[in-house]
Structure 1
Amino acid sequence: MSANSRLTVAAHALTWIGLYQRRGHEVATSEQIATSVNTNPVVIRRLLAKLGKAGLAGSRRGAGAGWMLARDLGSITLLDVYEAIEPGPVFALHPATPDPECVVGHGIGPVMTAVYDDVEATLRRELAKTTLEDVLRDILKAP
C-alpha cells in the first residue's frame, strides 16, 4: 500500500494560490498550480473541485478563467482541507464480518474500533491546530 498524498497536494495547491494572489494575481490556472505540484492539471482540477464544494476555493470561467481562494489562508485549517478531500474514517474494519466463533474474529472489531477512534480524534485535533497561513509562513522561512 502506498501513502495517501491528497492532503499534501491540496494544501500545496491552496497555499500556492494564496501566495500567488498576494503577489497581485486574481486567479491561478490549474496548469500553473500543477507545475508547482509536479502533477497533471486534471489532478489539480479534480482536487480543487472538491475544495470548491467545501467552500475553500472558487473558480472563474470564461476569459481570465482560473482558481482563487474562497477564504483567507489564516481561516483555513489543515482539518478543513482534510475534511474536504478525505471523506470517511482513516481506517476501516474488515470488509467482511470475521468468524464470530473465533476468539480473535469475535473481538477484533470492538478493539480496533476503539484504537481507530482515538487515532481519528488525535489526527483531527492536530490538523485543526495548523492553518494554511502557518504553512505558508513556515515555507517562506525555510532556507
Structure 2
Amino acid sequence: MIALNPQRSFSSEDLASSVGTHAVVIRSIVKLLRGAGLVQTQQGVAGIDLTRRPEELTLLQIYRAVDAPESVFRVHEQPNPQCSVGSNILDTLGSVFGGAQEVLDAYLANVTLADVMSDLARRIG
C-alpha cells in the first residue's frame, strides 16, 4: 500500500485494516523494517515511507528484516539415536531442506517490491 500510494500517508491502523490484523502487529513489523533501514517513520506523525525505491528492494531483504527464521523448514531436533532412521534423519533432511531454502532465498532475491506492485496493479485493474 505504501509503495503503490507514495503521495498518501498511511497509519498502522490503515495498514492493519487492509491486512485484517491489529495495528499492534503492523507496528511491530514496521519496527523491524525500520531497524533494517527499509522504512522510516517520524514519531507523532502518521506515515511510513520506504527508504529505497521499490525496484531496489527485494522480497529477500524484507523477509530477512522481519525476523524470518533461518529456514522455513523444521525438523524435530532430538530423534531417537538408537533408531536407524532417527539417527540419520537430521543429516538427510538437513541436506534436502537446506537445498530448498537456498532455492527460496534465490527466488526471493530476484523478486522486487516493484514486481509485486506491478502484479497488484494488474489485478486491481
- Calculate the TM-score normalised by the size of structure 1: 0.79
CA deviation after TM superposition for structure 1 residue 52, in Å: 1.0
User: Is residue 67 of structure 1 aligned with residue 60 of structure 2?
Assistant: no
CA deviation after TM superposition for structure 1 residue 107, in Å: 0.9
CA deviation after TM superposition for structure 1 residue 93, in Å: 2.8
After the TM superposition, which segments of 4 or more aligned residues of structure 1 sit over 3 Å from their partners? none
For 1:128, give the aligned amino acid: A
Task: Tell me the equivalent position of 1:90.
Answer: 72
For 1:129, give the aligned amino acid: N
CA RMSD of aligned residues (A): 1.4
CA distance in 2, matches of 1:137, 1:127: 16
Task: Tell me the equivalent position of 1:4.
Answer: none
CA distance in 2, matches of 1:35, 1:94: 37
What is the identity percentage for the equivalent residue pairs of Structure 1 and Structure 2?
Answer: 37
- 1:45 counterpart (17, 22, 27): 27
- 1:31 counterpart (2, 5, 13): 13
- Calculate the TM-score normalised by the size of structure 2: 0.90
Q: Secondary structure at the match of 2:69?
A: coil
State the aligned residue count: 123
Q: Secondary structure at the match of 1:65?
A: strand
Alignment of 1:1-143 (within 5 A): 16-21=1-6, 24-25=7-8, 27-62=9-44, 64-85=45-66, 86-95=68-77, 97-142=78-123, 143=125
Q: Secondary structure at the match of 1:39?
A: coil
5+ long unaligned stretches in structure 2: none
CA deviation after TM superposition for structure 1 residue 20, in Å: 2.0
Structure having the higher helix fraction is 1
CA distance in 2, matches of 1:127, 1:42: 26
5+ long unaligned stretches in structure 1: 1-15
